[in-house]
Amino acid sequence: MVSAGSFDRQAILDAALAEVVARGIDNFSVAAVARRAGVEVGLINEIWGDGRVLLMDAQLASASRQVPLPDTGSLVGDLQALSVSQAELASTTRGRRWVHRFLSADGDADLSEIRADFWRVRLEEMVRILQRAAERGELRDGIDLDDAMRMFLGATLYDIVVGDNAPRPDYLAQLLDIFIRGISRP
């Protein structure tokens, strides 16, 4: 096993992601992550405190790599870049599994705290796109940024979640047109 002074943080995060993909969020185990990463359970607990924090750290780091927060300098550019990265992720079975692993496995709306916290944090990150657009004067007055981003993400994730398919390019183009016209300053 690896000692506390010589561990690879990314290897542990990768092991946590592999574990949640293999066993699901409800059966996630720090001991299994430690075995996968070749480290002691105590090391993981020393660094992350518990499995919940480790899982959140791993999932948020993965989300930032898989679907990075764009900053192109314009609302249109940012939303296009976000849509493209989501569509690219959804174009593979592995990518769709990445999205699905943080949805309730049985379709129940009673999500675990980890699931709810992940989506809350990820939404806060994505809202920055709209905050920057508002600061640049691109948005019309009275837009609730959280609600607007929820609408946008719900529409972009619909095909992935409901149909287990990547969104069609023509659908994304129409979505972007409707959404941007709806929130942009005339």
Domain of 36, CATH number, reads 1.10.10.60
CA 69 to CA 61: how far, in whole Å? 12
Query: What pairs with residue 29 in β-bridges?
Result: none
Whether the model clears a pTM of 0.85, i.e. scores above it, the answer is no
> Which of 58, 81, 96 is the last residue in one of the domains?
58
Q: Supply the pLDDT for residue 111.
A: 36
CATH assignment at residue 84: 1.10.357.10
Q: Supply the pLDDT for residue 1.
A: 56
- Does 76 lie in the same domain as 51? no
The domain total for the chain is 2
Inside any domain, residue 92: yes
CA 152 to CA 15: how far, in whole Å? 32
SS3 173: helix
pLDDT higher than 70, residue 173: yes
pLDDT band for 103, please (50, 70, 90 cuts).
low
Q: Supply the pLDDT for residue 39.
A: 95
CA 71 to CA 42: how far, in whole Å? 39
**Domain ranges, residue 23:** 9-58
Q: Supply the pLDDT for residue 13.
A: 95
> Which of 58, 75, 96 is the last residue in one of the domains?
58
- Does 53 lie in the same domain as 126? no
Inside any domain, residue 145: yes
Q: Supply the pLDDT for residue 107.
A: 46
Query: What pairs with residue 2 in β-bridges?
Result: 39
Mean pLDDT taken over the chain: 87
pLDDT band for 99, please (50, 70, 90 cuts).
confident
- Does 125 lie in the same domain as 142? yes
- Which of 35-39, 107-111, 161-165 ranks highest by mean pLDDT? 35-39
